[in-house]
Structure 1
Amino acid sequence: MNSLSIQVTQEVFGEIKTSDGIQLVTKFTLTNPLGVKVQLITYGASITNVFVPNKKGDLRDVVLGFDDMAGYVKSENPYFGSTVGRVANRIAKGHFNLQGIEYQLAKNNGDNHLHGGNVGFDKVVWQAYAHRDGRITFTHSSPHMEEGYPGHLFVQVTYTLTDSSELIIDYRALADRPTPVNLTNHSYFNLAGHNAGSQQLLNHHILLSANQYTPVDSGQIPTGQLANVDGTVFDLRSETLLRDVIEKIPGGGYDHNFVINDSTIKFDNKLPLVAKIWHSESGRMLELFSDQPGCQIYTGNGFPADGSLVGKDGSIYSTHGGLAIEAQNFPDAVNQPHFPESVLQPGEVYHRTIVYKFGIQ
């Protein structure tokens, strides 16, 4: 999948003050022969920009984000484009038991723990290495008891842009003692353009390979049930226009985990198709492939309606301004014994892959 035709440049994006002093944040730009351009920064191993053509060949940036470090470090940043962990999504009451030991994490989402805590992987500066074939590898060493998690965890995330406009994200991790791990990317997409707003997002169609979803309680914690999507607003197995269902969803939009089916459509004959979204007016299409068991769909329900979330180019990101499709393990899996295993054991390699494939519908 790698190609020597991918152009790679790097520059200083900004700096951040830490307990160790000032750290520089680097931005990498990957460009393929079709003009597709992906930009990444070492802060949070984050995707900041993805420029893809419409059916007329016009390039637009289709992910939400900020122009500078000031935006990424502010508390209002809803994890734009970041690598989230050590455990993505929610852990009930920030609590779990491993091998008879009780662990208490930060409660940074109401009464629950979300996306790794107060200083998760999205809020650290990763080390980076640019490969000659166009891949960029980010690494982070998370010490024992960082944010309350047991074990020293070494994490590696590699981004690859291909000649055929696939962005491959490869996650690997090693631990020296049992610890829960769930890594994903938290990009928000609007295929009409990052600044196109909610009206254009609602004109997106979505298709999801999921016969079941995990119902949640009032704190967005799974009840443990696997519910069938038949006859509900969670049935996205056929082409669905977001505008037709958004107001019918409890909570004003999707913020739910879906149980992903195996699919006959596969990337590289390995990774099943998880989801497909497309925007008819522009013709832009995104297919998501992954070996993760679940996918969280979030339609930006919590974005402020008062215009206070200002992104790239001075754009206002308001309610339903972007769509996150996060391939990952189920929420609270560490506390739900019948959910897919979430604990990484010493000697094992955590390895998951996500592919964003851009094209024209």
Structure 2
Amino acid sequence: MAVKREFWGEAPSGAPIYVYHLTNQSGVEVCVLNYGCTIRNIFVPDKNGEKVDVVLGYDDYKEYFGNDCFLGATVGPTANRIANAKYSIDGKEFILPINDGPNNLHTDMNNGFHKRVWDAEEGENFVTFTLKADDGDLGFSGNREFKLTYTLTDDNALELHYHATSDAKTLINMTNHAYFNLAGQGSGSCLDHVMKMYTSHYTPVIDSAAIPTGEIASVEGTPFDFRVAKTIGKDINADNEQLKFVGGYDHNYAIDGADGSMKVFCEVTAPATGITMKCSTDLPGFQLYAGNFLKHPNGKGGKAYVPRDGFCLETQFYPNSINEAGFPDCVFGPDREYDTKTVYQFV
């Protein structure tokens, strides 16, 4: 196991941007940035022993200064959508940027945690990134300290361990927004990937703004049922109102039996490479996003990314949980630290 730090460029603030290379004995290599706490590369041996980069990203560090699709980014302090860009804690209202119709999406496009330089500390097989945020920053309460540790194990598991403390009650719902293509980034559509989910419910949305209705609905008899393995593309264009609202899959799933312990929630395989990714988390939900609106002309290796060239499995509390009494509690503070783990294991 080894961690190597490489200087890559300078952020708009002038702070240095470093790439941290984590490698293991199986030939897996993960490259993460202190800018945005971003996953830039995950190299995995395929069925022929050739290394394949299975996440979308950029070769030019300056592209991450835009990154409006959030490629590989750590999203925080809150991910996904909040209705009407506001919420209340103990009767006090907080106002967030309106950046997705009338709603808030991924905190702030220009000033969120994915656009900040994090402090870093290297270990034998891990890097811990730290970021501090003051009370009132981006419309959130509490003087807070966030940590995210990336660990690469010898059994090819990339562990993401999030931890945060706050001196006041505050909303926290972070995620990582990596776009995966297990056939290799830049290889084209991911719709032939075979996916199996260990979850039987999802949260339907009201309309194209993608705010959940508040219902936790069964996937039975719907295109959202992946309990029996099928390709991502099999039902993505079905005549289904929920799919039409958001151009395909862009919905939260409620993980079966979520109780704070680690649960395997999804397995995905690319037939072209034989690479399988097994995903687990202790969080109550995850967003399946099939890259319906993905578009960027300057991907890695000179590749142009187009819709459905990658998929996301964003572990999370449910979208708009803060405003839905029946959804999981995502308020943290002096008496409740934020501490959660997500694992992507490659087979």
Structure 1 and Structure 2 fold alike (TM over 0.5) = yes
Q: Which residue of structure 1 aligns with residue 79 of structure 2?
A: 88
Give secondary structure in 2 for the equivalent of 1:247.
Answer: coil
Q: Distance in 1 between matches of 2:113 and 2:271?
A: 35
Give secondary structure in 2 for the equivalent of 1:246.
Answer: coil
Residue 140 in structure 1 maps to residue 135 in structure 2: no
Residue 252 in structure 1 maps to residue 247 in structure 2: yes
The answer on whether the counterparts of 1:10 and 1:28 sit within 8 Å (CA) in structure 2 is yes
Q: Which residue of structure 1 aligns with residue 222 of structure 2?
A: 232
The answer on whether the counterparts of 1:44 and 1:124 sit within 8 Å (CA) in structure 2 is yes
Q: Describe how 1:1-361 pairs up with structure 2 within 5 A.
A: 6-18=1-13, 22-74=14-66, 76-118=67-109, 119-131=111-123, 133-198=124-189, 201-218=190-207, 219-248=209-238, 249-250=243-244, 251-262=246-257, 271-304=262-295, 308-359=296-347
Q: Distance in 2 between matches of 1:164 and 1:212?
A: 30
Q: Distance in 1 between matches of 2:292 and 2:298?
A: 16
Give secondary structure in 1 for the equivalent of 2:135.
Answer: coil
Runs of 4+ in structure 1 over 4 Å off: none
Q: CA deviation at 1:348?
A: 2.1
Q: CA deviation at 1:309?
A: 3.1
Q: Distance in 2 between matches of 1:302 and 1:243?
A: 15
Q: CA deviation at 1:34?
A: 1.1
Q: Distance in 2 between matches of 1:262 and 1:321?
A: 31
The answer on whether the counterparts of 1:175 and 1:347 sit within 8 Å (CA) in structure 2 is no
Give secondary structure in 1 for the equivalent of 2:235.
Answer: helix
Q: Which amino acid aligns with 2:292?
A: N
Q: Which amino acid aligns with 1:230?
A: E
Give secondary structure in 2 for the equivalent of 1:296.
Answer: strand
Q: Distance in 1 between matches of 2:321 and 2:90?
A: 16
Q: Which residue of structure 2 aligns with residue 267 of structure 1?
A: none
The answer on whether the counterparts of 1:14 and 1:68 sit within 8 Å (CA) in structure 2 is no
Q: Structure 1, residues 104-141: CA drift from partner, whole Å, max 9, x if none?
A: 1001122111112231111100000001x221000000
Give secondary structure in 2 for the equivalent of 1:122.
Answer: helix
Q: Structure 1, residues 234-278: CA drift from partner, whole Å, max 9, x if none?
A: 111110112211211323310000000139xxxxxx511011110
Give secondary structure in 1 for the equivalent of 2:322.
Answer: helix
Q: Which amino acid aligns with 1:209?
A: Y
Q: Structure 1, residues 282-329: CA drift from partner, whole Å, max 9, x if none?
A: 10000000001001000110123xxx5321111110010100001111
Q: Which amino acid aligns with 2:168?
A: R
Q: Which amino acid aligns with 1:309?
A: P
TM-score, normalization by structure 1: 0.91
Q: Structure 1, residues 82-101: CA drift from partner, whole Å, max 9, x if none?
A: 11111111111110111111
Q: CA deviation at 1:226?
A: 1.0
Q: CA deviation at 1:197?
A: 1.1
Q: Which amino acid aligns with 1:285?
A: T
Compare 25-34 and 240-249 and name the one that shifted more: 240-249
Q: Distance in 2 between matches of 1:317 and 1:293?
A: 30
Q: CA deviation at 1:164?
A: 1.0
Q: Which amino acid aligns with 1:244?
A: K
Q: Which amino acid aligns with 1:64?
A: L
The answer on whether the counterparts of 1:71 and 1:77 sit within 8 Å (CA) in structure 2 is no
Q: Structure 1, residues 334-353: CA drift from partner, whole Å, max 9, x if none?
A: 10111000100213211100
Q: Distance in 2 between matches of 1:165 and 1:71?
A: 28
Q: Which amino acid aligns with 2:113?
A: F
Q: Distance in 1 between matches of 2:100 and 2:136?
A: 20
Q: Distance in 2 between matches of 1:100 and 1:183?
A: 23
Q: Which amino acid aligns with 1:16?
A: A
Question: Cα RMSD over matched residues?
Answer: 1.4
- In structure 2, the gaps of 5 or more residues are none
